[in-house]
Structure 1
């Protein structure tokens, strides 16, 4: 049968993937690594790093991992995936649509619908692998992808366990500002007017203006969380050439639809297990606590890491802030 654009069914684009190890963390000798691709229901081909325990027989419990928002799989999500593979899980760390090595155009756009779908597409992929037990699937979301992970768990009961680390509720921040400091119709309407003007300018010019990544150079009066972002994304600790946050960031209008979304609208209805992991020194801690307060059931767990900042939970912050064994025990208990 000759395929046409109107033929229903999946189709994957061919992506050029870097095969050499180019992560910001060391490669584990306990884990096998491979590049893989899969597609979402919008037809975008996603690129992922697959981490599998060496010598493990299947079928295995499996995890889909992504985040932070504006990062790539060679950064924090890859570290989480590899660490979980060291503890017996098959894990894929993927680049979201329009970013990193994944497909999708125009580049550096975000969409709450498409990005939640990216998580579900990873679950689709894992569920049909012969070395994966489709009844033992979970997700891990870091930073802004923590909120996406909760939204995916609310939408998809195949996700039996969810771990969100140092989470952002991106729709809340987009609509209300940090600490809800701009939670007013006036402030939102000003933002809408700014986005609308930028859309007109972009369409006229035929290009998309870039918002810029993490501020560089860092001003002396920058808040502590901005300094933390700089220390991760702009130094050898976490810099990666494909990372939006390390370089030119999203397009100015890239995340504008988040403002009209409600990512966590139905998290009270998540029946499967959820762990919310947060540092009590993180500027984002209030978002994790507020999300946890809404969860229902006795299979929900809040883990607070004393003294940990937001980015300490990206990679441990040089002080082993990430409780790997606690995460693995939670996943093992709830994935069987």
Structure 2
């Protein structure tokens, strides 16, 4: 049975996602906030400037939030192509339910945030987005700046470990289903494109030259919705389940898998797992035991020699994308996060 069928059957048997069109905050995940109620977790859409670009974010405050008190904080970085209304929002809300102030923002040039041309996807920008979330939330009423944690999901996980290598405001660092965008853009997923590296670098170089000359921006990927049969024929489980998640079960109009081809000049020389010895903070890296992306988490974790407080936690039977939404896997990840942040923040 192909995974497309499995996911659709799960939806038929019981809702696992919310329709963004029916949510006033356009949230897509199951159990999402639909209104702010006194005494409950509340959501606060905010905007701020980061190097002249407008960033849109959601801040979640705990039940019975009192701005005169101090709360631990968690910054949540979303996956590649994702937006704050999807899995990043789910984990931000779940942590807020357990007395954390949390923030999830759309990356610059992506989602609802500003920046032109659209869908620039450069590692330096994504890392700066994480620093920027820390800047903003540090000024928020009730935020304890001595207790700031970081959670990076998928591509956001790769960028989070880079941010935490130098930004010591983050006192505890966690990743979920970490994805090394540089490694994959360079070598292909599971090293499937090693023989085309130079060809793709030439295409990226030509794309940048065309942009510099005032020509059209060239994109990799696109927004064309794949059929279920097309999804089933994709070569890797991450891509099959990812397309189901982003195009069907948890779709959001601001979410897009495309990026500027010229971004590959930056992406292909990036390595999330380099300089891991600079992380001296407590480190938790979580992944599904059946995730075909697990090799990236294992590589980064092995290099984290600068901290003695580190743990690799495998969620039994979960795949990469299933950690985004399957309730039993999300529950396990949240439980582990609460133990980790509770001990280290």
Q: Pick the TM interval, shorter chain.
A: 0.7 to 0.9
Q: Which runs of 5+ in 1 are unaligned?
A: 1-18
**Is 1:271 matched up with 2:280?**
yes
Query: Does the 8 Å CA contact 2:47/2:57 hold for their aligned counterparts?
Result: yes
Distance 1:143 1:50 in 2: 20
User: Which runs of structure 2 are paired with 1:236-315 in the superposition (5 Å)?
Assistant: 237-245=249-257, 249-296=258-305, 297-315=307-325
Q: Deviations over 1:26-61 (max 9, x none)?
A: 334631111112333x33221100100121332111
Count of residues paired in the alignment: 309
Distance 1:267 1:164 in 2: 13
Q: Which moved more, 1:154-163 or 1:258-267?
A: 258-267
Could you tell me which residue of structure 1 aligns to residue 24 of structure 2?
20
Could you tell me which residue of structure 2 aligns to residue 96 of structure 1?
107
Could you tell me which residue of structure 2 aligns to residue 11 of structure 1?
none
Distance 2:146 2:42 in 1: 23
Report the 3-state secondary structure (helix = DSSP H, G, I; strand = E; otherwise coil) of the residue aligned with 2:168. coil
Query: Does the 8 Å CA contact 2:109/2:120 hold for their aligned counterparts?
Result: yes
Could you tell me which residue of structure 2 aligns to residue 9 of structure 1?
none
Q: Deviations over 1:207-228 (max 9, x none)?
A: 3233314861352532232220
**TM-score, L = length of structure 1:** 0.86
Distance 1:256 1:308 in 2: 33
**Is 1:331 matched up with 2:341?**
yes
Q: Deviations over 1:273-306 (max 9, x none)?
A: 1110100211110001111111123311111011
Match of 1:196 among 183, 193, 205: 205
Higher helix share: 2
**Is 1:234 matched up with 2:250?**
no
Query: Does the 8 Å CA contact 2:289/2:316 hold for their aligned counterparts?
Result: yes
Query: Does the 8 Å CA contact 1:38/1:122 hold for their aligned counterparts?
Result: no
Query: Does the 8 Å CA contact 2:177/2:323 hold for their aligned counterparts?
Result: yes
Query: Does the 8 Å CA contact 2:32/2:90 hold for their aligned counterparts?
Result: no
Query: Does the 8 Å CA contact 1:214/1:229 hold for their aligned counterparts?
Result: no
- RMSD across aligned C-alpha pairs, in angstroms? 2.1
Q: Deviations over 1:120-147 (max 9, x none)?
A: 1111112222311100001111101100
User: Which runs of structure 2 are paired with 1:71-150 in the superposition (5 Å)?
Assistant: 71-150=82-161
Q: Which runs of 5+ in 2 are unaligned?
A: 1-22
Distance 2:123 2:171 in 1: 21
Distance 1:174 1:210 in 2: 14
Distance 1:327 1:145 in 2: 16
